[in-house]
Amino acid sequence: MVSERAKSVKPSPTLSLSAKAKALKAQGIDVVSFSAGEPDFDTPDNIKQAAIKAIEQGFTKYCPVDGIPELKEAIIEKFRVDNGLEYKPSEIVVSCGAKHSIYNVLQAVVNPGDEVLIPSPYWVSYPDMAALAGGVPVIVEGKEENGFKVTPDDILSKVTDKTKVFILNSPCNPTGAVYSREELEALGRALLDTKILIISDEIYEKLIYDGERHYSIASVVPDLKSRTVVVNGVSKAYSMTGWRIGYAAGPEDVMRACAKIQSQSTSNPTSISMAASVEALKGPQDAVESMRREFEQRRNVLVDGLNAISGITCFKPRGAFYAFPNVSGLFGRTIGGREIKSSMDFSEVLLDVARVAAVPGSAFGAEGYLRMSYATSMENIREGLKRIKELVEG
C-alpha cells in the first residue's frame, strides 16, 4: 500500500534513540539522557501570556497562509536589526517550524535529479528532505581538523551542472561549529560564480559562546542575497519547539512558490502560535540571554569532562547546544563486555550498561563521534560524565 516515496524516508535516528531512553525511564530505570534536540527551559511567561490573550480574544480562525502581517513585520525588523538584511513582506513566509520552511523551499526549487550539497556532519533531516523533493543529496565532508567546517574548495569540488542547492547551517547541529565572517565571505565568493541557491539555516543564531558573533552569509556577501533563503524560527532561541513557528526570507519567486505549496498542505501556521511569536520577537529579550549563559556554562563542564576521559577527545563547540566528542580512540577495545567497532556500538553499550543516552555520529554522516546535547541540567551532565568515565576507564 505504501508509496515508494514513503518507503524511501528513514525514520529519524535521533527520535528513535530518545524513544528507547524514554521506554527505559518508564520502566523505572535511571537513564541520563544527552539526546534532547530541544532546550530544556520553559517558554518565557510573557510569550505564554500573549498566546492566552490571543485565545481569549478569539484569534482562533484561519489567517493569511504565509503569516499574519504583524508577525511578518516583527520578522522584517529582526532581520534588519540582527542581520543587517532588508526584506519586503512578500519575501517572507512563516511556516510550521524551521523544518517546514526548509521542506517547503526544497519542494519549491528542486527538480528530479537535482543535487543538493549538504556539509557533514549534518542535521539528520536534510538528506531525507532533499530526497523527498526528488533531489539527490551530495555530502561534502567537514573535517574535524577544519573545525567541522567546509572550505570553498570542498564545495567547488562537488559542484556539477546538476547542483541546485547548498544547505549551510551555522551554528551547526550536531557539531556546534560556527562559521566566522571571513569563512562565510570566502564560501560566498566561491558560490558567486555558480547558480546555486543557498539555504542558510540560522535556527541557533542566538545560542553562541565565547563572545563569538553570528553572521548571515546573505549580509556578508550582499550579491548573494538574491540567491539565498535565510531560515530561522522561535523554537531554539525562545524555547518554543512545541509551538511550531519558523520562517524563511528570500527571493520573491521562491517565497511565492513556498506559499503556494503551503496553501495546499498545512495552510496557515497556528494563529495562536503566531501571536505568541510576535511577542517573542518584539518583547523583552533577557530570557534569551539567561538561557544562553546557562548553556555556555554547561558546555564548559561537559566538554572539559569529556576531554578528561581517556580515549575521548572533544572539539569545543562555539554555538547551539551539542558537544560532538570523537570516540574513535575507543574502537577496537572491549567495553562493557562488547567489542566497540562503531559509534553505534558505543552508544548501545552506553545506554545498556552505563544508562547514558547519546546519539551515534553515524546518524549525522560522521562515524567515530557521538552527539551529546547539553540541553539538560548541570546535575545530569556531571552524573552522565561520571558514568561514562567509569564505563570507559573501568
Ligand X SMILES: *Cc1c(COP(=O)(O)O)cnc(C)c1O
Residues forming contacts to ligand X in the complex (CB under 6 A) are 37, 97-99, 123, 169, 173, 201, 203, 233, 235-236, 241, 246
Q: Which CB, 321 or 346, lies closer to ligand X? A: 321
Q: What is the secondary structure of 210-229 as a DSSP string?
A: TT-----HHHHSGGGGGGEE
Q: Write down the least CB distance from residue 300 to ligand X, Å.
A: 21
2 phi, psi to nearest 5 deg: -75, 140
Q: Write down the least CB distance from residue 49 to ligand X, Å.
A: 21
Torsion, Cα of 205, 209, 213, 217 (10° steps):
-40
* C-alpha cell, 45: 511567561
Q: Which CB, 142 or 305, lies closer to ligand X? A: 142
Q: Write down the least CB distance from residue 236 to ligand X, Å.
A: 6
Nearest to 326 by CA among 203, 175, 128, 187: 175
Q: Which CB, 265 or 342, lies closer to ligand X? A: 265
Q: Which CB, 100 or 355, lies closer to ligand X? A: 100
| Pairwise CA distance, residues 346 & 284, whole Å | 43
Percentage helix, strand, coil, to 5, in the chain? 45, 15, 40
Q: Write down the least CB distance from residue 125 to ligand X, Å.
A: 7
Q: Which own/partner contact pairs does 140-149 have at CB distance under 8 Å and 24+ positions apart?
A: 142/175, 142/177, 144/315, 144/326, 147/177, 147/315, 148/121, 148/172, 148/175, 148/177, 148/315, 148/324, 149/119, 149/177, 149/179, 149/183
Q: Write down the least CB distance from residue 123 to ligand X, Å.
A: 4
Q: Write down the least CB distance from residue 116 to ligand X, Å.
A: 15
Q: Which CB, 202 or 345, lies closer to ligand X? A: 202
Q: Which CB, 167 or 340, lies closer to ligand X? A: 167
Q: Which CB, 17 or 388, lies closer to ligand X? A: 17
| Pairwise CA distance, residues 159 & 67, whole Å | 35
Any bridge partners for residue 141, and if so which? 120
Q: Write down the least CB distance from residue 339 to ligand X, Å.
A: 32
Residue number with the smallest Cβ distance to ligand X: 97
